[in-house]
């Protein structure tokens, strides 16, 4: 069994790992740390919760010289929440070596961040927009930056940040070492890697490896009208130390929060309509263990990386198998077990089947005290109702841009439904759905993209007329 000592880490870093309670490396750490210590560029394909922060953070700690006040390493993140999380982790890894880590992100006073940079900071962790702003003001100098990490590059793509990422990379020395981490490898991300990484080592950890072995997975078939009462029953029976309850919409998030609160539960809501201050307060309470139950939308929970989450409840069936894997990866973190319960309405059996095929296991029917059985793991089901195209997950995908978003009343399920019904794709071939205010993004197999665009363009969804095109790389 591989240990952290086997990976070539120094004694001070090994002691820091003991301080934070890490016992043995996760797969992404075991595969990613050695080439990064050798100075190789690395592409790491792994979900949140795989331990990727340590996979790039520990080599950074090893390489950085605490006696040199220049910025030697830069970690770019898509969100403020992830920026704070990564900063906290790097500080814990580098505390024994005396490494100064500075976080820079929007929504906070830029002058205080400028002051921190003037005072030092060998490692800077920042959101893309704030990093560019500080560069333009002459407050952040990257001429001595020898190590650059792009964390959750797929989220940067979805938020439209890749052009800004390229601007930042062009300000870094040509001889730098670069690492790119992403759950998926959409064509624009592959192109970015081709342009800015030199002969990278590709480290890939399958999503199923991260979740199936560490999370017991259950399903509850329930009518729409009975879901809230069933949730109360499930939570009362499971008695989670900490649970995240995922819902599709902000309105449902608020409704369910009030329902649970009125039942006397200690619960908070987290969604995109809340102010940044409100979201920070909720996340601090949840991370500190003061709030045991969090009702959240997918977008709001991005960057929420908490090892003490014991349960995930999918109150609404995820919009795609990838979203399911991302959600349940919030529990069963590295070295711990977790439980996931998915509510399935009678009309959603097809979505459930797509999830089960994707993760290569069946979801056990839930009842109080239920345990999963090894026999639940199954072979690929044989279907006779209609032919399905088998997809191995490594084929190229293309991101489509759809005119129509939250302002038009669209939800992720509407986008998936439009692609499956109008263009005839199976639900398992639809990935990475994002509904933003005025437009939506969805990824489909590259060889189907032109046909899907033609079928979707002009289609009506919830009264909105979609305009579809391939997103610019």
Residues 186 and 305 in one domain: no
**CATH number, position 263:** 3.40.50.300
Shared-domain flag, residues 124 and 225: no
Based on the number of CB atoms within 10 Å of its own CB, is 333 exposed (0-12), middle (13-18) or buried (19 or more)? buried
Q: Are 158 and 195 in the same domain?
A: yes
Q: Is residue 387 part of a domain?
A: no
Residues 49 and 172 both lie in one domain: yes
Work out the percent of the chain whose per-residue pLDDT is above 90: 37
**Residue at 389 is within a domain:** no
The torsion region of residue 15 among left (phi > 0), alpha (psi -120 to 50) and beta comes to alpha
> Using 50, 70 and 90 to split pLDDT, how confident is the model at 372?
low
Residues 98 and 221 in one domain: no
- 174 and 320 share a domain? no
How does pLDDT run across 141-200, given as a tens digit for each residue? Answer: 999 999 999 998 988 887 888 899 999 999 999 889 999 998 878 888 999 999 999 999
Q: Are residues 28 and 147 in the same domain?
A: yes
Q: CB of 86 within 8 A of CB of 57? A: yes
Euclidean distance between CA atoms 118 and 112, whole angstroms: 10
User: Could you list the residue range(s) of the whole structural domain that residue 407 is in?
Assistant: 397-470
232 and 363 in a single domain? The answer is yes
CATH number of the domain that residue 418 is part of:
3.30.70.330
Do 195 and 244 belong together in one domain? Answer: no
Distances (CA, A) of 119 to 96, 112, 122, 290, 400: 19, 11, 10, 34, 44
Total structural domains within the chain: 3
pLDDT at 97 over 80: yes
What predicted TM-score, i.e. pTM, was given to this entire model? Answer: 0.53
Q: Are residues 24 and 148 in the same domain?
A: yes
**Of the residues 150, 178, 205, the one at which a domain ends:** 205
Is residue 235 located within the same domain as residue 364? Answer: yes
Shared domain check, 182 and 309 = no
CA distance 15 to 4: 10
Please count the other Cβ atoms lying within 10 Å of the Cβ belonging to residue 158.
22
Q: What is the pLDDT of residue 237?
A: 92
């Amino acid at each position: 069994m591989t240990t952290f000592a086997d990976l070539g880490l120094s004694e001070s870093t090994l002691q820091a790992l003991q301080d934070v309670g890490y016992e043995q490396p996760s797969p992404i750490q075991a595969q990613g740390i050695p080439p990064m210590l050798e100075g190789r560029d690395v592409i790491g394909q792994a979900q949140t919760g795989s331990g990727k922060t340590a996979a790039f953070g520990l080599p950074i700690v090893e390489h950085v010289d605490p006696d040199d006040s220049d910025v030697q390493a830069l970690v770019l993140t898509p969100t403020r929440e992830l920026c704070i999380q990564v900063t906290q982790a790097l500080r814990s890894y580098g505390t024994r070596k005396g490494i100064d880590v500075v976080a820079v992100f929007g929504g906070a006073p830029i002058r205080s961040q400028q002051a921190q940079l003037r005072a030092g900071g060998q490692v800077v962790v920042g959101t893309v927009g704030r990093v560019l702003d500080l560069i333009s003001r002459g407050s952040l100098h990257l001429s001595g930056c020898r190590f650059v990490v792009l964390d959750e590059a797929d989220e940067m793509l979805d938020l439209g940040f890749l052009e800004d990422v390229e601007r930042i990379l062009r300000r870094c020395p040509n001889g730098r070492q670069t690492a790119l981490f992403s759950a998926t490898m959409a064509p624009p991300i592959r192109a970015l890697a081709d342009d800015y990484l030199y002969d990278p080592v590709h480290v890939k950890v399958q999503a199923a490896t991260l979740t199936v072995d560490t999370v017991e997975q259950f399903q509850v078939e329930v009518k729409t009208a009975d879901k809230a009462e069933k949730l109360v029953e499930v939570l009362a029976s499971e008695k989670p130390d900490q649970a995240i309850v995922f819902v599709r919409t902000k309105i449902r998030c608020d409704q369910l929060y009030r329902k649970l609160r009125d039942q006397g539960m200690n619960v908070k809501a987290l969604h995109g309509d809340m102010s940044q201050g409100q979201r920070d307060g909720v996340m601090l309470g949840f991370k500190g263990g003061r709030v045991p139950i969090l009702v959240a939308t997918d977008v709001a929970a991005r960057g929420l990386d908490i090892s003490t989450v014991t349960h995930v409840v999918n109150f609404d069936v995820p919009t795609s198998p990838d979203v399911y894997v991302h959600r349940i990866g919030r529990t069963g973190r590295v070295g711990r077990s977790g439980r996931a319960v998915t509510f399935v309405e009678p009309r959603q059996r097809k979505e459930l089947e797509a999830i089960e095929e994707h993760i290569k296991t069946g979801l056990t029917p839930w009842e109080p005290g239920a345990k999963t059985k090894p026999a639940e793991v199954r072979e690929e089901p044989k279907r006779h109702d209609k032919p399905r195209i088998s997809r191995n997950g490594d084929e190229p995908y293309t991101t489509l841009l759809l005119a129509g978003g939250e302002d038009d009343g669209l939800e992720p399920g509407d986008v998936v439904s439009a692609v499956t019904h109008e263009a005839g794709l199976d639900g398992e071939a639809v990935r990475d759905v994002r509904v933003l205010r005025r437009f939506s993004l969805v990824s489909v197999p590259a060889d189907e993209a032109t046909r899907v665009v033609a079928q979707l363009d002009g289609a009506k969804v919830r009264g909105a007329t979609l305009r579809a095109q391939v997103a610019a790389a």
